[in-house]
Structure 1
Amino acid sequence: MRRLPVVFGALLLGSCWALAEPGRHWQAAGPDEKPWSGSIAREVQEFAVEQKPTAIMVVRDDDIVASFGDLGAKVNVRSVRKSLLSALYGIAVEDGRINLDSTLAALEIDDVPPALSPAEKTATVLQLLMARSGVYHLASYETGLMKQGRPARESHPPGSFWYYNNWDFNALGTIYRQSVDDVFASFEKRIGRPVGMEDFSAADGVYVKESSSSHPAYVFRMSARDLARFGLLFLNGGRWNGAQLIPAQWVTASTTRVSDAEQPGRGYGYLWWTFSSARSDISGFFASGYGGQLIVVVPSKRLVLVELVDLAVNKQGIRTQRFLDLVDKISASVP
């Protein structure tokens, strides 16, 4: 079985901090405790009035520094689902249930006609996690941009080219169900309950299948306050209340840039995005979903920031970069 690469810098970054987790309910930091929080609250309020998110949450360690909207409202988190699945993969690899070197052929993964070619079936689980499978079959739950940008079948050998590919992400869901268990039940059992999520249950997940592919999308509905716990779990290297829920090595490897993305300063790991600001020395990683669904982690500032947008209410959504700009401003205000 493949051993995960170790990236010492990210692990060492968190090692000098005492881990902190919220109790059953989140607590808000008072101005006496964090005097710099007032300016952050104003930034969040101004952003919310202009952009109209459903909820925003800014967390430093285990305290809410600023928030807006209904933190318990459950929203379709879109492609944030992929980062949630990445965490489950880290656990499954550690448990010996999934081998990163297994090929699609070995796992008997195929699709509706036109079926996968022998060359496409040489793609490995790790290559799917990195969005480098080279399998450009039609996929469920694609956006128009995904469909327009999809390369031709067999135009790139597995492992040679990065393309943000819903086929990879959905097939990973199939592999997980085949090798371990239901995605949503596993998430509730292995992550949701241990970190004390207040709103999520397996019933909040649904599989969306289209005729174009045999691999359904696994769609999560989650609240901002539950996503903040997930972000804090990753900020703390996969530990919660003294228990190592996700292997620390996986947390580091999955949130480290493997490929450069099209947008300046952004990269991609194992179903997580990475970023570095063009205006400051702030960097981190984030989960991102269409329309403004985001979990952003800034390790150097011990920050987790969440944005959710109900697209039935705000049909235009919010561009990812707008929230990352807010993250930059907030990070600059935190000592």
Structure 2
Amino acid sequence: MVINQQGEDFTVKKTAIILAAVLFFSTAGAAGYLSIPFTISKNNQFHKELNQSDYDSQNTMNRLTEIMDKNEADSLFIMEGQNVLAEYGESDQISNVASVRKSLISALFGIAESKGLINVDRTLEELGIDDTKNPLSEKEKQATVEDLLKARSGIYITSLGESKDMKEKRPERGTYSHNEHYYYNNWDFNTLGVIFEQETGTSLGEAFYEWIAKPTEMKKFQPSNVVYQESEETSMPMYRFYMCAEDLTRFGSLYANNGKWRDKQIIPENWIDASFEAYSEITDVDRFTGYGYLWWLEKQKDQMLQWAVGAGGQYVVVDRESKISLAMMNNTGTSPLGVFWYRTFDGGEEPYSDVRDVFELAKNSIMKRQK
């Protein structure tokens, strides 16, 4: 029997080339698929540029640049009233706002209540709300919508988006009745999204777009900027908001200006007052002193600030006294591959102290100008 060595070598090389090609195109295809963003946002036609305030001296801008250059933040936008005070980085780049989402839907509940679409005093039982993967007890069903807004539902079961710390701090099921105990509870927050859509017949994205984004002439937000995640462990899906720093600051400006955009009332002022009431004393997060309707509260001496905070370095700060609103954001990835890259190679976020420094810088600049 004669063995054709040359023929065998050719076959081996040919097979290796085919396998290499298959591996290359499979890898490229997978990378391409994983690079598709969760949501794509274009500029809105109704967007209008904000007026530019007469910002402070070059020294102030130099200090602002110094703070931003040393931390991990990708963008910053600051408003005084409804004018631009300062801008840094890619303030029109959309990103996952993480837990800032909770403050966003708090506003939607306030507007829905004013429209007569939602009654925050109704119980889960009255609304027919249940977690089919973890059925609620009769006691748990007595929690009201307002209890969930305060993170005081007394329902302690698995939820999407829980951090390790949240899981470790979760009380044993049945430990407390509704409104007896504060616990930063993703089950409450996710279920609020379900309740809102059930009671209004409108998706979170559509409602935010029509009720808030359009009236405030946001730059990027569209209904598709809200996406959902589901799990086999709970029937309550988690909603995610994707926004840019400028649009988040416009949102914060509503709260800084008692619910108004220009001369139009967008969020009822009494809802904002209620949102910034401290229903729970916060002792496990050093920088905050209370929790309202999905807003963190910080009281220092005679100053009261309101915060929306998300993992990865997403911040919104509101000061009603000086009418300052600011958003500082980190791009944590807008696609599966981008999220993986951020978590593996970046993973940092600017500390609270840097955000506080930026706020103080803005407020001091305004005070100097007013003298």
The TM-score range, normalised by the shorter chain, is: 0.7 to 0.9
1:27 to 51, 54, 63: 51
> Are residues 1:271 and 2:294 paired?
yes
Root-mean-square deviation over aligned CA pairs: 1.7
Per-residue deviation at 1:148? 1.5
Larger radius of gyration between Structure 1 and Structure 2: 2
Query: Among residues 331, 334, 342, which one is paired with 1:310 in the alignment?
Result: 331
Corresponding residue for residue 231 of structure 1: 252
Q: Which aligned pairs between 1:1-335 and structure 2 lie closer than 5 A?
A: 24-29=48-53, 33-34=54-55, 36-180=56-200, 181-261=202-282, 262-264=284-286, 265-277=288-300, 281-312=302-333, 313=342, 314-335=346-367
Superposition TM-score, scaled by structure 1 size: 0.87
Report the CA distance shift for 1:69/1:127 in structure 2 as closer, same or farther (over 3 A): same
Give the conservation status (yes or no) of the 8 Å contact 1:235–1:299.
yes
Q: How many Å apart are 1:95 and its aligned residue?
A: 1.3
Going from structure 1 to structure 2, the CA distance change for 1:143 and 1:91 (only over 3 Å counts) comes to same
The gaps in structure 1 that reach 5 residues or longer are 1-22
For residue 321 of structure 2, give the secondary structure of its aligned residue in structure 1. Answer: helix
Counterpart contact for 1:282–1:328, Cα < 8 Å: no
Aligned partner of residue 348 in structure 2, secondary structure = coil
Measure the CA separation in 2 of the matches of 1:121 and 1:293: 33
Q: Is this contact kept in 1: 2:255–2:320, CA < 8 A?
A: no
In the TM superposition, what is the alpha-carbon distance from 1:58 to its structure 2 partner?
1.8
Counterpart AA for 1:323: V
Q: 1:187: Cα distance to partner?
A: 0.3
Contact 1:41 1:65 in 2 (8 A): no
Tell me how far 1:298 sits from its aligned partner: 1.2
Structure 2: runs of 5+ lacking an equivalent: 1-46, 334-341
CA distance in 2, matches of 1:25, 1:233: 17
Task: Work out whether residues 44 and 56 of structure 1, in 8 Å CA contact, stay in contact via their aligned partners in 2.
Answer: no
Residues 146-174 of structure 1: CA deviation (Å, up to 9, x unaligned): 11211110111110001110000000000
Q: Distance in 1 between matches of 2:360 and 2:58?
A: 16
Distance 1:309 1:228 in 2: 14
Deviations 1:89-111 (CA, angstroms, capped at 9, x unpaired): 00111111111111111111111
In structure 2, distance between residues paired with 1:173 and 1:321: 31
Q: Which amino acid aligns with 1:243?
A: K
Q: As a proportion of its length, which structure holds more helix? A: 2
Whole-angstrom CA distance in 2 between matches of 1:89 and 1:101: 12
CA contact (8 A) 2:111 2:267 kept: yes
Structure 1, residues 195-217: CA drift from partner, whole Å, max 9, x if none? 10010000111011122211111
Kindly provide the amino acid, as one letter, of the partner of residue 189 in structure 1: E
* Structure 1 residues 217-273: Cα deviation after superposition (integer angstroms, max 9, x where no partner): 110100111111111111111122322111110011112222112234421100111
- 3-state SS of 1:286 partner: strand
* In 1, Cα distance between equivalents of 2:169 and 2:57: 42
